[in-house]
């Protein structure tokens, strides 16, 4: 079972229009206790994202003064420092994801693009939710017994015609340990790879053995 973004996303999203003022956005960040929000056009399509970091640029540039070092540091941020609306301050294009994407894809996109959250958009680009790092990590709350059941009842039967006598699967704190003897290392590699992709698995420990002429890699 693989969770989708729609399963973990937040559907009540605080968003702003392109003409939202700096002062209003600062107040919204504080009152809503969020660190960023999507910027949408009149049709509700996501066109950018404004974060607290974008708003802090203004104060950071002021604090650094007018030294040469400060000027070089903020050369690329001068436009944002002078910004007064969401359109001036937003990062565009927004890094988004669809509701049917796998949670793993959302995690990978956040990591690769170094963002803390992703606006969730439908096929037309309309905002339908937002997914954060905390939302993505929620998949690891899955109970150990539920993980073991999926491995035993779904993963193994898909790969093995029959489960060998003495083959055992244990799960503790999301760590799957597999012990027993298989007919080939090819089977072992296939099982280990499949188990790593089971929702909620933190790690897989290979305690499998093989015929003398083959070894797991």
Residue with the bigger pLDDT between 162 and 77: it is 162
Which one-letter DSSP state was computed for residue 180?
E
Q: What pLDDT sits at residue 71?
A: 52
**Rama region for 194: left / alpha / beta (φ>0; ψ in -120 to 50; rest):** alpha
| Alpha-carbon gap, residue 152 to 192, rounded angstroms | 13
Q: For residue 213, is pLDDT > 70?
A: no
Q: For residue 217, is pLDDT > 60?
A: no
Q: Domains in the chain and their CATH numbers? A: 5-139 (3.10.580.10), 142-209 (3.30.1340.30)
Least confident of 31-45, 69-83, 151-165: 69-83
Reported as a pLDDT band with limits 50, 70 and 90, residue 139 is confident
Q: For residue 81, is pLDDT > 80?
A: no
Q: For residue 34, is pLDDT > 90?
A: no
Q: For residue 130, is pLDDT > 60?
A: yes
Residue with the bigger pLDDT between 41 and 213: it is 41
Q: What pLDDT sits at residue 175?
A: 96
Q: What pLDDT sits at residue 211?
A: 83
Q: What pLDDT sits at residue 194?
A: 95
pLDDT digits (tens, 9 = 90+) for 118-129: 999 999 999 999
Q: What pLDDT sits at residue 3?
A: 84
Strand partners, 126: 45
Least confident of 50-59, 161-170, 192-201: 50-59
Average pLDDT in the chain: 87
Q: For residue 193, is pLDDT > 90?
A: yes
**How many residues are present in the chain?**
217
Q: Is the dihedral of CA 114, 4, 132, 125 positive or negative?
A: positive
Q: For residue 143, is pLDDT > 90?
A: yes
Reported as a pLDDT band with limits 50, 70 and 90, residue 1 is low
Q: For residue 99, is pLDDT > 50?
A: yes
What are the angstrom distances between the C-alpha of 203 and each of 54, 104, 144, 172, 199?
37, 15, 12, 10, 11
Q: Is the dihedral of CA 105, 111, 113, 119 positive or negative?
A: positive
Reported as a pLDDT band with limits 50, 70 and 90, residue 96 is very high
């Amino acid at each position: 079972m693989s969770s989708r973004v729609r399963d973990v996303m937040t559907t009540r999203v605080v968003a702003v229009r392109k003409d939202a003022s700096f002062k209003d956005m600062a107040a919204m960040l504080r009152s809503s206790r969020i660190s960023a929000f999507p910027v949408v056009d009149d049709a509700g399509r996501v066109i950018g994202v404004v974060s607290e970091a974008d708003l802090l640029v203004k104060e950071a540039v002021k604090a650094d003064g007018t030294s040469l070092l400060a000027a070089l540091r903020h050369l690329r941020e001068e436009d944002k420092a002078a910004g007064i609306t969401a359109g001036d301050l937003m990062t565009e294009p927004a890094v988004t994801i669809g509701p049917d994407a796998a949670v793993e894809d959302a995690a990978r996109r956040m990591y690769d693009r170094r963002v803390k959250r992703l606006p969730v958009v439908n096929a037309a680009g309309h905002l339908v939710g937002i997914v954060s790092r905390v939302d993505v990590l929620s998949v690891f709350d899955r109970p150990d017994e539920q993980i073991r059941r999926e491995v035993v009842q779904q993963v193994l039967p898909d790969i093995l015609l029959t489960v060998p006598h003495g083959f055992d699967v244990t799960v503790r704190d999301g760590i799957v340990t597999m012990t027993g003897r298989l007919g080939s290392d090819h089977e072992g590699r296939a099982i280990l790879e499949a188990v790593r992709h089971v929702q909620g698995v933190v790690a897989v420990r290979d305690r499998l053995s093989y015929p003398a002429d083959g070894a797991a890699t």
